Structure 1
Amino acid sequence: MILPGKVRIFSLFIFSHYAVKFCFGGDVITASEHIQDPGSIISSGGLYRLGFFSPNGSTNRYVGIWHNKIPVFNVFWVANREKPVPDSSGVMTISDNGNVVIMNGKKEVLWSSNVSTSGANAKAQLLDTGNLILQKQSSNDTEPVWESFNTMSDTFMAKMKLSTNTKTKEKQVLTSWKSPSDPSIGSFSISLEPLDIPEVFLWNGTTLYWRSGPWNGKVFIGIPEMESVYLDGFTLVDDKEGYVYLTYNFAEVSYLSFFFVRSNGELLQPFWDEKYKHWRIDWSTRDSACDVYGKCGPFGFCDAKKSPICSCLRGFEPKKVEEWSTGNWSSGCIQSSLLQCDRIKNGSTKAGKIDGFVKLENVKVPNYAIWSSTLEDKCREQCLSNCSCAAYAYDAGVGCMYWTGHLIDIRKFSYAGTTLYVRVAHTELEGKRDLRAIIATAVVVATVVFSIGIFFAWKKSKERGGKDGGHVLEASSENMLGGSLSKVNLQELVLYKLDDLAAATSNFSDANKLGEGGFGAVYRGRLLNGKEIAVKRLSRASGQGLQEFINEMVVISKVQHRNLVRLLGCCAEQEEKLLVYEFMPNKGLDAFLFDPLKREQLDWRRRFNIIDGICRGLLYLHRDSRLRIIHRDLKTSNILLDEELNPRISDFGTARIFGGNEDQADTLRVVGTYGYMAPEYAMEGRFSEKSDVFSFGVVLLEIVSGRQNNTFNEEDQSLSLLGLAWKYWEENNVVALVDPKISVGRLEVDIMRCIKVGLLCTQELANDRPTISTVISMINNEIVGLPRPNKPAFTERQTTTDTGSSRQSQKKYSVNRLTVTALEGR
């Protein structure tokens, strides 16, 4: 599961998360050699330490085990999780009955290893594996009677055994902390489920939250990252006496890595990067929404690269259409046509043709696979002969697998995975194939005819507008999108009625207003089906809005990415022009970043996740989408945050689509926001990918510093934020730029690297700036030895802030203190 070349995020915990007090000692605890808070013992090789600690934000004292020689990522094991010592009076020792115990200042036992043993010659020793073992000295040997590896906390370490007794149902499980400041047992747990084919399950209480997919002897086939790295040493053992357990070990002893379940239910794998001396995250269950168990319900199919992510398997249809329309897919799908067995059961005189199978490649197979000894070439035949069989698959390590009942938790992978064959009625493979072709042809013909009709209607409308002085955008009940909008390809957008949007927003009341900018206001709304939306309403007083309105519809309707806000539809009626977006509950990044209270929620992990997400969205716009798009107004207020504070780039009113051979373009109409605009764009109207990179660099420095470039306030009133960053860079004091709300500590190298990337992005000459793909490699440490940045543009304070402008032929610009798209959030 180790992917050294694929670093997803930087370490989530660092040494500062634990207020640990040190006291050096040996590696054993005896009745006479106890640990008194703040004492500790260290394993013989110096790798691990056991002692008292307080989690960040707590004054309670616990006994735990953590890395000794490198920064602390997390405390691997906690003894007294449910009964902390309230003060520093705690003692860990060997009791009279030979158990390891933790007592408070009143000599009350708060925790015990609780095994039956004799107290004579008992000792507890911390090994270089991180395991604490309790040993009883017999006449000829030392016998281990208890070990911490058998009472897991939230961490699965090398040589541990995640086990289940199939006879007694007793399990060794990982259990999350209740919160980062409370080690008591939380909501999430991880267990090995033998089933017919063993899998690892992650539970939220008693509800299944994530699963690994079946074990095939080398890997869990529901984790594609394991495909190329099965030599990590994972082993699943059945001792034939009831115990089945999973364990692993690394061939390279010095390699430090483990699996850790966070209090929010995320299972991740950090590893120590010896070269750069910090922790990195190699793998996590939070790759996409499709990782949540059963996201799309029974017979649903999840593909994180599509929007919406859920669809029904071929031959199936939504069970509750009204729920699917609101993004609730839990009800799943039902079969569209009766299978052969069902037709016979219903008394059909003709059973008809036999069923067939739809082939799904690179997928995570459904839950509850049933193993069969049938050979691969007989797997299909076996499934067809069993009326209960809904699907089958074959894996060389497992053999033939088939499923009965509901198929749940199927998702698409980009690579690896398994080929699944889903049983469908023959009509889904034959008759309906021809029907689909007929329908497709009919749709094409109808579209062509409709387009021709709309074109002539538009032409006539335009002529009428020229004669009567009317607006080109003249809507009627028969054609909501009249005039210029009829030329726009809006096949994937919903056309909303003005009355419905007015009702959803309480007639565009100020109470529902989320923000306002040069384009107009944005309102929060709720449709009749309960779906929350954000409605952007073009200001009638704005002379700039029509072009941007059409532009935004064209651009966003053709691009879909997890880091771009999703446009749901539009409305053009009674001189109103409105865009309907998905609602982002956390509004814009600026609402968090520049708020003294909310910014405390943005620790470095979240900030880096936002930085990386903005990069991914820009990379999609610049290189990966079917259109090549330059945003032209990237700023913190145009970065919206979803429920989990993931970033989404919004506001494409000023965006430009580039042709295949275009690298840059000129404009006589400069629109955007000063403070974020690249110098070549603000002064000369030239824009390119590198002008977006400049804007990103400003946003990056704002995220790190917590200061806004346009409202910057420092003692040196002549310096902008870029100027201050450069001043600190020249003085070799860049850490002074960092937001005090960020706990720097061991993260300093990563944070300083991001500041340097910000300076590289804001260099005055466009050719000196990196591309966004290079930026991603830079911030993720995939490029060693970054170049020295040149002095950024606009290091002196500008006399204007937010503005849009029109560039004249002399390449000067006028100030009207307005942005076309400056919204505060949705």
Structure 2
Amino acid sequence: MGLFRSPTRFPEKYRWYLGIWYKKFPSKAVWVANRDHPLSSPTGILNISNSNVDLLDGNVVLWRKNLINRDSSVVAELLDNGNFVVKDPTGVLWQSFDSPTDTLLPGMILNANLISWASSEDPSSGAYTYEIIGQQGFIHDAHQVPMTRIFPNKILPSTTKKTFSTMLRIDEYGVLQLLVWRDKWHIDWISHVDECDEYYTCGLNMFCDMNLSPICNCIKGFEPSDKPYRGCERKKTQVSCVEKEFWRMTNMKLPNFGQQIDTKMGVEDCKERCLKDCNCLAFANMDSQNGGSGCMVWLHELHDIRSYKTKGFDFYIKLPVAADLGLLFLPLFLLQITL
């Protein structure tokens, strides 16, 4: 932990920041205190009192964190996991893990958004944000428009002193990366690989598959809408309460706006739950023991779905009875009218 500098547009002047970085990766800070209020020189003062943690540039407070006012002594400590904590004999008063910048470290709970750097050399707040909402994560641009939806949200594997260092970082281009240290930093996962990773690449009730041409196609039971912006819709009939069949799609990224029903419900019970609900369009059963959410159902139109080669979940689409049987009975119906 210490001060580092970042060049501005003017080479003769530098901006200074209070940050934390890995010894193995000193060129990039994983946490920055005063990212939007830089020091003008490397002579800043970090003042810790019973009421505040202040970073001062001369007499000007550039960064402040308020503490609960206590009469007991206050100490500050940088822990081995990268967490800068301020505490008294009763416990932690403030910690840097509660105020992440662009990086999630092992042991950190993401209760605030990750915000990218403005550039690779400028730690000030950039254009991209990673936000977790329920079981999924969203990467937004500067206008808060979703760029990528990550489902389920990406979490860091647990680490100990005997395992590798890891971190989850959103870069200056809005790409989320899981980095693992194995003699050097390796990218183990990345949020954006192809066009199907972009949010809402295809329309409603469609799925994206990079191995098909076109890559966007209607889900079984749906047909292209007369209004192209609508994607696909059911032409023959809507689902009701008499369906018995589902179409299984494997290795899928599940749609947005699913409702969690039961974290421990198995696939057959989840299926029965969807069958009994006249408004249920689809369901999925996720492994709750490995970070999933058990039984989920979808009651509205489906969007932001994609297929993967080897990962993803089984996704079950309810098939309307009339859509399968209507063509069989239609000729008989017409014959009766003729007679």
Same fold (TM over 0.5): yes
2:277 equivalent in structure 1 = 386
Matches within 5 A, 1:176-195: 176-194=116-134
Q: Distance in 2 between matches of 1:104 and 1:360?
A: 59
Q: Report if aligned partners of 2:118, 2:126 keep a CA contact under 8 Å in 1.
A: yes
* Distance 1:119-1:248 versus aligned 2 partners, 3 A rule: farther
The offset of 1:416, in angstroms, is 2.9
Q: Secondary structure at the match of 2:29?
A: coil
1:339 equivalent in structure 2 = 238
Q: Report if aligned partners of 2:139, 2:147 keep a CA contact under 8 Å in 1.
A: yes
Q: 2:107 matched to 1:212?
A: no
Query: Out of 23, 34, 53, which is 2:5 matched to?
Result: 53
Deviations 1:687-710, CA, capped at 9 Å, x for gaps: xxxxxxxxxxxxxxxxxxxxxxxx
Q: Distance in 2 between matches of 1:307 and 1:252?
A: 48
1:409 equivalent in structure 2 = 304
2:337 equivalent in structure 1 = none
Q: Distance in 2 between matches of 1:335 and 1:255?
A: 50
Q: Secondary structure at the match of 2:173?
A: coil
Q: 2:267 matched to 1:376?
A: yes
Q: Report which of the two structures shows the higher radius of gyration computed on alpha carbons.
A: 1
The offset of 1:290, in angstroms, is 1.3
1:732 equivalent in structure 2 = none
Q: 2:152 matched to 1:201?
A: no
Q: Residue type of the partner of 1:368?
A: F
Higher strand share: 2
Q: Report if aligned partners of 2:51, 2:66 keep a CA contact under 8 Å in 1.
A: no
Q: Which structure is higher in RCO with an 8 Å CA cutoff and minimum separation 6? A: 2
Q: Distance in 1 between matches of 2:84 and 2:215?
A: 46
Q: Distance in 2 between matches of 1:365 and 1:251?
A: 32
Q: Distance in 1 between matches of 2:60 and 2:70?
A: 20
* Distance 1:57-1:339 versus aligned 2 partners, 3 A rule: same
Q: Distance in 2 between matches of 1:251 and 1:62?
A: 29
The offset of 1:280, in angstroms, is 2.0
List runs of 5+ in structure 1 lacking aligned partners.
Answer: 1-48, 164-171, 215-219, 224-233, 235-246, 324-329, 345-352, 436-826
Matches within 5 A, 1:350-749: 354=243, 356-373=245-262, 375-397=266-288, 398-430=293-325
Segments ≥4 residues shifted beyond 6 Å: none
Q: Distance in 1 between matches of 2:21 and 2:8?
A: 15
Deviations 1:411-445, CA, capped at 9 Å, x for gaps: 10111322111123335445669x9xxxxxxxxxx
List runs of 5+ in structure 2 lacking aligned partners.
Answer: 331-339
Paired positions, count: 319
* Distance 1:99-1:265 versus aligned 2 partners, 3 A rule: same
| Greater Cα shift, 378-387 or 148-157 | 378-387
* Distance 1:56-1:332 versus aligned 2 partners, 3 A rule: farther
1:292 equivalent in structure 2 = 198
Q: Distance in 1 between matches of 2:173 and 2:325?
A: 47
Q: Secondary structure at the match of 2:273?
A: helix
2:52 equivalent in structure 1 = 99
The offset of 1:98, in angstroms, is 4.9
* Distance 1:377-1:249 versus aligned 2 partners, 3 A rule: closer
The offset of 1:127, in angstroms, is 1.8
2:66 equivalent in structure 1 = 114
Deviations 1:475-509, CA, capped at 9 Å, x for gaps: xxxxxxxxxxxxxxxxxxxxxxxxxxxxxxxxxxx
Q: Report if aligned partners of 1:392, 1:401 keep a CA contact under 8 Å in 2.
A: yes
Q: Distance in 1 between matches of 2:205 and 2:27?
A: 40
Q: Report if aligned partners of 2:274, 2:282 keep a CA contact under 8 Å in 1.
A: yes
* Distance 1:421-1:160 versus aligned 2 partners, 3 A rule: same
Q: Report if aligned partners of 1:316, 1:336 keep a CA contact under 8 Å in 2.
A: yes
Q: Distance in 2 between matches of 1:98 and 1:56?
A: 33
Q: Secondary structure at the match of 1:383?
A: helix
* Distance 1:388-1:340 versus aligned 2 partners, 3 A rule: closer
1:743 equivalent in structure 2 = none
1:81 equivalent in structure 2 = 35
* Distance 1:92-1:130 versus aligned 2 partners, 3 A rule: farther
Q: Residue type of the partner of 2:69?
A: T
Q: Distance in 1 between matches of 2:306 and 2:99?
A: 34
Give me the TM-score of the superposition, normalised by structure 1: 0.36
Q: Distance in 2 between matches of 1:175 and 1:152?
A: 8
Q: Distance in 1 between matches of 2:138 and 2:98?
A: 19
Q: Distance in 1 between matches of 2:29 and 2:301?
A: 41
Q: Secondary structure at the match of 1:183?
A: coil
Q: Residue type of the partner of 1:417?
A: G
Q: Report if aligned partners of 1:95, 1:119 keep a CA contact under 8 Å in 2.
A: no
Q: Distance in 1 between matches of 2:34 and 2:204?
A: 42
* Distance 1:71-1:378 versus aligned 2 partners, 3 A rule: closer
Higher helix share: 1
Q: Secondary structure at the match of 2:127?
A: strand
Q: Residue type of the partner of 1:174?
A: L
Q: Distance in 1 between matches of 2:92 and 2:176?
A: 31
* Distance 1:200-1:122 versus aligned 2 partners, 3 A rule: same
Matches within 5 A, 1:158-177: 158-163=106-111, 172-177=112-117
Q: Report if aligned partners of 2:17, 2:33 keep a CA contact under 8 Å in 1.
A: yes
Q: Distance in 1 between matches of 2:326 and 2:45?
A: 75
* Distance 1:252-1:416 versus aligned 2 partners, 3 A rule: farther
Q: Residue type of the partner of 1:79?
A: A
Deviations 1:4-52, CA, capped at 9 Å, x for gaps: xxxxxxxxxxxxxxxxxxxxxxxxxxxxxxxxxxxxxxxxxxxxx3223
1:509 equivalent in structure 2 = none
Q: Report if aligned partners of 2:150, 2:191 keep a CA contact under 8 Å in 1.
A: no
Deviations 1:550-572, CA, capped at 9 Å, x for gaps: xxxxxxxxxxxxxxxxxxxxxxx
RMSD of equivalent CA atoms:
3.0
Matches within 5 A, 1:235-314: 248-274=157-183, 278-314=184-220
Deviations 1:375-399, CA, capped at 9 Å, x for gaps: 5324334323322111112234343
Q: Residue type of the partner of 1:413?
A: Y
Q: Distance in 2 between matches of 1:293 and 1:340?
A: 27
Q: Residue type of the partner of 1:412?
A: S
Q: Report if aligned partners of 1:339, 1:355 keep a CA contact under 8 Å in 2.
A: no
Deviations 1:627-666, CA, capped at 9 Å, x for gaps: xxxxxxxxxxxxxxxxxxxxxxxxxxxxxxxxxxxxxxxx
1:783 equivalent in structure 2 = none
Q: 2:52 matched to 1:64?
A: no
The offset of 1:301, in angstroms, is 0.3
Q: Residue type of the partner of 1:50?
A: G
Q: Distance in 1 between matches of 2:61 and 2:71?
A: 16
Q: Report if aligned partners of 1:159, 1:248 keep a CA contact under 8 Å in 2.
A: no
Q: Report if aligned partners of 1:272, 1:279 keep a CA contact under 8 Å in 2.
A: yes
